[in-house]
């Protein structure tokens, strides 16, 4: 058995093993896109390239046999740059959105398309869990949010945007009216406490997510009631106070303590708070006067200066978000600040590097061409936007499901399983570094269970191998030559005719979202 050295570590590999196999024995992960264990290596994606001493070119780890005394590098700058270039070439002709435009535009990055599909399927318990993963006050925002997500909704290019805010409100209202409203799981207490200064949307959101992470939270506000500008600034006709009170009560049920009629800088100083608590989050809204009550903080143009990624201020252990750091005065932005600051505060209190929220990689189609909209509409209702006529202007059950059916499902059906997305994020790939004419969006939906989007196919050939091995009557094959090569069913037959027995295996093997199940539920 050959002995070789990979990244300065010696390993013995069975005869016939590849560098990929030998690296796996050491626990070294080499990225692969076109490789599937048990199948013949295709060495087409070039994402698994490594440097072998004495060989002029980088070699694919999945197809290179491990040799005696080989010296292999798997993670040098040269190797990483080559992998990034391979990914960027694949992305240059990738027709698909990782996240729907609505989710990208939402300041809280809520998974709007998933919520919509859950509502369409009548899975309301799942829908509210999806919403509250990113939005702490959905019933509130369902009434007062200016809906930037709807301005980005691709359906608007055809007729009118999906009523995202009303769908969010629908799920939240039903939850509040239920006998057992949704309560998130909370980590056991970690014996650390956070002071939250300001009882408005940013502070409430921070408390909601910090409490789930096991931290004791005490909220300070100069007013008597919790709610901040939601309680004292938004008219009752826009936001019924019983709705606000119900959502606040759920956060308090998680363990939030409130100290009203307490002015920081008067009744207690920021320095004293820092001594009494392990971290402080400032969410006091717009600064009054020059902010003299906040000694030790850097203030510029009437706002507290923060690290925009981590929400850290100039004072150690003090974070800030909401209108105190920005002047947009959007409740949804304040709620997003609270959620993201909670992540950074958790990192700080856990002793980890404070990096803030990691932004997931996203590829974006852009504005649709004329014929592409028709292809998106194949799996969506063509009905006009539903006019809500339910309680207090909300949706009825039937209206909510009808409106949800209008969603075009722009987002990827395999966002977490897609290797192209995962590795593009890890290697810092740029989606459009290489300019090319993108093929048209062209989904094939004839199969009862799966959808094939050829614009996401990287021509790895795994599905072709699987169908050939299973002796599908038609299966899949490469059609065309050169840059025009594509994977399709022979003789212009449909995907349903090509994948009669191997649809599931092909979906599971596909490294992108080219082959995916129509419904995950």
Position 429 in a domain: no
- What whole-number distance in Å separates Cα of residue 183 and Cα of residue 108? 19
Position 115 in a domain: yes
* Chain segment 119-178, per-residue pLDDT in tens: 999 999 999 999 999 999 999 999 999 999 999 999 999 999 999 999 999 999 999 999
| Domain identity same for 302 and 397 | no
**pLDDT score of 520:** 54
Q: How is residue 312 annotated by DSSP?
A: B
* Chain segment 6-54, per-residue pLDDT in tens: 999 999 999 999 999 999 999 999 999 999 988 888 888 999 999 999 9
- The CATH number for 239's domain is 3.50.50.60
Question: How large is the average pLDDT for residues 450-459?
Answer: 94
* Strands 515-517 and 450-453, bridge-based pairing: antiparallel
| Domain identity same for 263 and 304 | yes
| Domain identity same for 136 and 254 | no
**pLDDT score of 170:** 98
b/e per residue, 202-219, with b = 16+ CB within 10 A? bbbbbbbbbbbbbbbbbb
On whether the CB atoms of residues 475 and 467 are closer than 8 A, the answer is yes
CA distances in angstroms from 514 to 63, 264, 511, listed in the order given: 24, 55, 8
The share of the chain scoring above pLDDT 70, in percent, equals 99
Position 224 in a domain: yes
Local confidence band at 296 (pLDDT 50, 70, 90 cut-offs): confident
**pLDDT score of 289:** 67
**pLDDT score of 503:** 96
| Domain identity same for 118 and 38 | no
- The CATH number for 486's domain is 3.30.70.20
**Least confident residue range of 117-131, 210-224, 304-318, 472-486:** 472-486
Average pLDDT, the chain: 94
| Domain identity same for 120 and 242 | no
* Chain segment 440-450, per-residue pLDDT in tens: 888 999 999 99
**Least confident residue range of 184-198, 239-253, 356-370, 402-416:** 356-370
On whether the CB atoms of residues 107 and 338 are closer than 8 A, the answer is no
Question: How large is the average pLDDT for residues 82-109?
Answer: 95
Residues 6+ apart with CB under 8 A from 107: 148, 330, 332, 333, 335, 336
356 token code pair: 């803030």
How many domains, the chain?
4
The share of the chain scoring above pLDDT 90, in percent, equals 86
Q: Quick check: 97 pLDDT over 80?
A: yes
Q: Quick check: 521 pLDDT over 50?
A: no
Residues 6+ apart with CB under 8 A from 412: 96, 97, 98, 99, 418, 421, 456, 513, 516
Position 86 in a domain: no
Instruction: Considering only CA atoms, give the Rg of the chain.
Output: 27
| Domain identity same for 125 and 243 | no
| Domain identity same for 136 and 279 | no
Position 88 in a domain: no
Q: Quick check: 328 pLDDT over 80?
A: no
Expressed as residue numbers, the domain containing 38 is 3-75
| Domain identity same for 247 and 167 | no
Position 188 in a domain: no
Question: How large is the average pLDDT for residues 56-69?
Answer: 96
Q: How is residue 499 annotated by DSSP?
A: -
- What whole-number distance in Å separates Cα of residue 28 and Cα of residue 50? 12
Position 358 in a domain: no
* Chain segment 374-396, per-residue pLDDT in tens: 999 988 999 999 999 988 899 99
Instruction: Enter the pTM of the model.
Output: 0.92
- What whole-number distance in Å separates Cα of residue 216 and Cα of residue 168? 29
- The CATH number for 117's domain is 1.10.1060.10
Q: Quick check: 104 pLDDT over 90?
A: yes
| Domain identity same for 250 and 305 | yes
**pLDDT score of 482:** 79
Q: Higher pLDDT residue, 300 or 166? A: 166
Question: How large is the average pLDDT for residues 467-473?
Answer: 95
| Domain identity same for 276 and 140 | no
């Amino acid at each position: 058995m050959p002995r070789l050295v990979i990244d300065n570590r010696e390993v013995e590999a069975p005869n016939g093993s590849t560098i990929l196999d030998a690296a796996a024995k050491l626990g070294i992960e080499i990225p692969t896109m076109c490789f599937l264990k048990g199948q013949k290596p295709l060495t087409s994606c070039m994402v698994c390239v490594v440097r072998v001493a004495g060989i002029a070119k980088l070699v694919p780890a999945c197809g290179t046999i491990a040799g005696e005394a080989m010296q292999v590098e798997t993670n040098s700058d040269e190797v990483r740059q080559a992998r990034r270039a391979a990914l960027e070439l694949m992305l240059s002709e990738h027709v698909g959105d990782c996240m729907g435009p609505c989710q990208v535009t939402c300041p809280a990055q809520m998974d709007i398309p998933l919520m919509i599909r859950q509502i369409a399927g009548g899975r309301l318990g799942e829908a509210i869990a999806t919403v509250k993963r990113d939005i702490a006050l959905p019933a509130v925002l369902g009434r007062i949010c200016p809906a930037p997500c709807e301005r980005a909704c691709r359906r608007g290019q055809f007729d009118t945007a999906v009523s995202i805010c009303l769908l969010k409100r629908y799920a939240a209202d039903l939850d509040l009216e239920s006998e057992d409203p949704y309560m998130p799981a909370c980590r056991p207490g970690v014996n650390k406490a956070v002071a939250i200064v300001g009882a408005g949307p940013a502070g409430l959101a921070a408390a909601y997510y910090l409490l789930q992470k096991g931290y004791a939270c005490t909220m300070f506000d100069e007013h008597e009631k919790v709610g901040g500008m939601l309680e004292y600034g938004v008219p009752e006709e826009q936001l019924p106070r019983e709705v606000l009170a119900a959502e606040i009560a759920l956060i308090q049920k998680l363990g939030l303590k409130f100290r009203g009629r307490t002015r920081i800088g008067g009744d207690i100083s920021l320095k004293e708070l820092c001594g009494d608590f392990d971290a402080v989050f400032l969410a006091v809204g717009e600064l009054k006067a020059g902010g003299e009550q906040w000694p030790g903080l850097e203030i510029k143009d009437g706002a507290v200066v923060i690290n925009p990624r981590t929400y850290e201020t100039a004072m150690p252990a003090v974070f800030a978000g909401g209108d105190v750091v920005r002047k947009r005065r959007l409740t949804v932005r304040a709620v997003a600040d609270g959620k993201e600051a909670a992540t950074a505060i958790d990192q700080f209190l856990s002793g980890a590097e404070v990096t803030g929220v990691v932004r997931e990689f996203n590829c974006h189609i852009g504005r649709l061409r004329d014929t592409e909209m028709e292809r998106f509409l194949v799996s969506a209702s063509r009905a006009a936007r539903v006019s809500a006529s339910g309680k207090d202007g909300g949706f009825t059950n039937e209206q909510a499901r009808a409106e949800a059916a209008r969603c075009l499902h722009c987002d990827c059906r395999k966002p977490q399983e897609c290797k192209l997305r995962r590795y593009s994020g890890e290697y810092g790939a740029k989606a459009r570094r290489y300019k090319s004419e993108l093929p048209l969006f062209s989904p094939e939906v004839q199969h009862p269970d799966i959808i094939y989007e050829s614009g996401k196919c990287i021509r790895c050939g795994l599905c072709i191998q699987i169908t050939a091995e299973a002796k599908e009557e038609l299966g899949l094959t490469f059609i065309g030559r050169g840059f025009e090569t594509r994977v399709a069913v022979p003789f212009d037959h449909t995907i349903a005719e090509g994948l009669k027995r191997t649809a599931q295996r092909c979906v599971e093997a596909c490294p992108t979202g080219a082959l995916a199940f129509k419904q995950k539920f």
